[in-house]
């Protein structure tokens, strides 16, 4: 494309980054990056009650966690209110907008009447042609668009195709409220124009707004940006994704132990595909992203699929990077503080890093990873869970006493020589390997299941391992 592409993500602060919003941001970002363009961030913070600093921070935090960045500083819509007023003044001067002095009751009555007559509830244009001299005293007017009454408005949408809306269905809607605040419809158009937005990519729930906004762009003589209205995300039952399906905020997925790269990959595949590719690196996604490959039907959120994808990314991510994500997870996890505290000791961090290859093979999420790593920081003497308790019979404790001797004299404290020594002991005693490994696992981890037993020995080191064995064997 010859034109320099500018997209924007324009969330309203609601207190968190909704998963649907995250996917909208991702599509804007992929489209912009694919075309070497820009993605801008505009915070639609005109609802002052909801637009607290915390709510804005939560949006930025969600985007940052997902690894999505934007060009330039975030734009505050509220801060542009003077410019919005200026544009409305210009429209009044040009005759493309007019003052309407109807009271809210009159407008309601109008709508009722239309409804009763089987017409869509629309403003009837009472003040469209009336002169200001007829204005009732002491009434602050709203300002309405003088919309065309004939013809149709066309939205040539990159995803939805050619959408035609008869102008009679789009009434003279309000641009500025009687208290002088601009409506969402007006503010979005002015901001998109002033920010040089070439492509508006957002949820299909904004499609009817698109027609109204097109009318404003045209009334101002401005180019209408290209639009792409992407399908919504549904829950597994086919209804619009909501709280009852489970978490809807990006931060909740972080708390459930998902990796940002898995989340990104999963969200990208919600509504967009590239052949049969399920696993896509960021580079691939940027290279392959095409708006015309975005489907029209709603995508269903499949929690199982996300979990499997996450498991893949856990295994595929190198240990140092995974450790970073683990710490981020712990920072936000309810019971993460003591673990982080333990990890703040460099020796312990090294231990965690040594254990990671074994841990990540089995865990689908960072929650599972933390649980199976917990043997690392639990203090001697370890509490045993029920399964471990069952394993630790008198016979098992005898085996532990023997193993204490065997493991005191291994030539080198590394997985292979440890395995060789334990196997040799089992053979010598004519015991199945499980008979030896299970008591060892119970003693070292206090659990009946754990990562590979040699990985556990290596991660704990000789001294701590022998100590734990001693606690149970003595
Ligand atoms: N602020 C709107 C929302 O959060 C989006 C507006 C737009 O993308 O045009 O739904």
HEC string of the chain equals CCCCCEEEECCCCCCCCEHHHHHHHHHHHHHHHHCCCEEEEEECCCCCCCCCHHHHHHHHHHHHHCCCCCCCCCEECHHHHHHHHHHHHHHHHHCCEEEECCCHHHHHHHHHHHHHCCCCCCCCCCCCCCCHHHCCCCCCCEEEECCCCCCEEEEEECCCEEEEEEHHHCCCCEEECCCCCECHHHHHHHHHHHCCCCEEEEEHHHHHHHHHHHHHHHHCCCCCCEEEEECCEECCCCCECCHHHCCCEHHHHHHCCCCHHHHHHHHHCCCECCCCCCCCCHHHHHHHCCHHHECCCCEECCHHHHHHHHHHHHHHCCHHHHHHHHHHHHHHCCCCHHHHHHHCCHHHHHHHHHHHHHHHHHCCCHHHHHHHHHHHCCCCCCCCCHHHHHHCCHHHHHHHHHHHHHHHCCCCCCHHHHHHHHHHHHHHHCCCHHHHHHHHHHHHHCCCCCCCHHHHHHHHHHHHHHHHHHHHHC
CA–CA separation, 145 and 185 (whole Å): 11
Q: What percent of the chain clears pLDDT 70, i.e. is strictly above it?
A: 99
Assigned token pair, 439: 């008591």
Bridge partners (DSSP) listed for residue 299: 233
What are the CB-based long-range contacts (under 8 Å, 24+) for 386-391? 386/448, 387/442, 387/447, 387/448, 387/449, 388/441, 388/442, 388/445, 388/446, 388/447, 388/448, 389/442, 390/448, 391/438, 391/439, 391/441, 391/442, 391/448
Active-site residue flag, 243: yes
Domain ranges across the chain:
6-76+233-300, 79-230, 317-376, 386-473
Tell me which residues have their CB closer than 6 angstroms to ligand 1.
10-12, 44, 188, 202, 206
Residue among 8, 17, 22, 44 whose CB has most ligand 1 atoms within 8 A, to mutate: 44
Annotated ligand binding at 168? The verdict is no
Assigned token pair, 247: 């978490």
79 C-alpha to ligand 1 centroid (Å): 17
Q: Report pLDDT for 410.
A: 95
CATH annotation of 386-473? 1.10.10.350
Q: Report pLDDT for 111.
A: 87
Cα→Cα distances 343→334, 348, 358, 378, Å? 16, 5, 18, 12
Q: Which of 243, 287, 350, 423 is labelled catalytic?
A: 243
Q: Report pLDDT for 474.
A: 67
Contact 75, 193 (CB under 8 A): no
In CATH terms, the superfamily for domain 6-76+233-300 is: HUPs (3.40.50.620)
Ligand 1, atom 4, residue with closest C-alpha? 11
| 6-76+233-300 and 79-230: identical CATH topology | yes
Q: Report pLDDT for 2.
A: 53
Residue among 8, 11, 13, 15 whose CB has most ligand 1 atoms within 8 A, to mutate: 11
CATH annotation of 79-230? 3.40.50.620
| Burial (Cβ within 10 Å: 0-12, 13-18, ≥19) of residue 81 | middle
222 C-alpha to ligand 1 centroid (Å): 20
Atom of ligand 1 nearest to the CA of 14: 4
Contact 214, 153 (CB under 8 A): yes
Q: Are strands 174-176 and 161-166 parallel, antiparallel or unpaired?
A: unpaired
CA nearest neighbour of 313 among 294, 326, 332, 301: 326
Q: Report pLDDT for 262.
A: 98
30 C-alpha to ligand 1 centroid (Å): 18
Q: What is the mean pLDDT of each run of 10 residues along the chain (474 residues)?
A: 85 94 98 98 94 95 97 98 98 97 91 87 89 89 96 97 93 95 97 98 96 98 98 92 89 96 97 94 96 94 95 97 98 95 97 94 96 95 95 96 96 96 97 96 95 94 97 84
Ligand 1, atom 6, residue with closest C-alpha? 10
Q: Report pLDDT for 132.
A: 80
CA–CA separation, 332 and 256 (whole Å): 10
Interacting residues of 124 by C-beta distance below 8 A, sequence separation 6+: 110, 114, 171
Atom of ligand 1 nearest to the CA of 205: 10
Main-chain phi, psi angles of 383, to 5 degrees:
-75, 140
CA–CA separation, 356 and 190 (whole Å): 51
Assigned token pair, 308: 């499997």
Assigned token pair, 307: 């979990």
* Half-sphere exposure at residue 88, Cβ-oriented, CA atoms within 13 angstroms: 26
48 C-alpha to ligand 1 centroid (Å): 16
């Amino acid at each position: 494309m010859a034109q320099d592409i500018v997209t924007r993500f324009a969330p309203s602060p609601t207190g968190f980054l909704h998963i649907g919003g995250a996917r909208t941001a991702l599509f804007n970002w992929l489209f912009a990056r694919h075309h070497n363009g820009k993605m801008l961030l505009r915070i639609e913070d005109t609802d002052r009650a909801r637009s607290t600093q915390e709510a804005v921070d939560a949006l930025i935090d969600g985007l940052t966690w997902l690894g999505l960045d934007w060009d330039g500083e975030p734009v505050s819509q509220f801060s542009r209110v003077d410019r919005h007023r200026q544009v409305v003044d210009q429209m009044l001067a040009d005759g493309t907008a007019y003052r309407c002095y109807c009271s809210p009751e009159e407008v309601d009555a109008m709508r009722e009447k239309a409804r009763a007559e089987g017409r869509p509830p629309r403003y009837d244009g009472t003040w469209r042609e009336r002169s200001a001299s007829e204005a009732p005293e002491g009434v602050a007017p709203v300002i309405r668009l003088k919309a065309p009454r004939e013809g149709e408005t066309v939205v040539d949408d990159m995803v939805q195709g050619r959408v035609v809306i008869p102008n009679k269905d789009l009434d003279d809607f309000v641009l500025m409220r009687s208290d002088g605040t601009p409506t969402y419809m007006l503010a979005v158009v002015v901001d998109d124009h002033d920010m040089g937005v070439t492509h508006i990519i957002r949820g299909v729930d904004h499609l009817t707004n698109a027609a109204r906004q097109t009318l404003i762009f045209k009334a101002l003589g401005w180019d209408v940006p290209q639009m792409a209205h992407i399908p919504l995300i549904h829950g597994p039952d086919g209804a619009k994704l909501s709280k009852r399906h489970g978490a809807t905020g990006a931060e909740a997925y972080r708390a459930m132990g998902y990796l940002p790269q898995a989340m990104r990959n999963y969200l990208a595949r919600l509504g967009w595909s590239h052949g049969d590719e399920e696993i896509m690196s960021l580079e691939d996604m940027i290279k392959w992203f095409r708006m015309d490959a975005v489907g029209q039907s709603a995508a269903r959120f499949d929690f199982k699929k996300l979990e499997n994808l996450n498991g893949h990314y856990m295994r595929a991510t190198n240990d140092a990077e995974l450790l970073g994500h683990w710490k981020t997870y712990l920072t936000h996890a309810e019971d993460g503080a003591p673990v982080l505290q333990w990890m703040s000791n460099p020796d312990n961090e090294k231990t965690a890093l040594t254990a990671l290859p074994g841990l990540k093979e089995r865990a689908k999420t960072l929650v599972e990873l933390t649980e199976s790593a917990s043997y690392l920081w639990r203090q001697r003497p370890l509490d045993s869970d029920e399964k471990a308790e069952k394993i630790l019979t008198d016979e098992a404790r005898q085996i532990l006493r023997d193993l204490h001797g065997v493991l005191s004299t291994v030539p080198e404290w590394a997985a292979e020589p440890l395995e060789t020594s334990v196997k040799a002991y089992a053979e010598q005693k004519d015991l199945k390997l499980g008979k030896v490994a299970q008591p060892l696992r119970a003693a070292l981890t206090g659990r009946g299941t754990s990562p590979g037993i040699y990985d556990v020995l290596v991660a704990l080191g000789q001294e701590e391992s022998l100590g734990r064995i001693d606690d149970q064997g003595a």
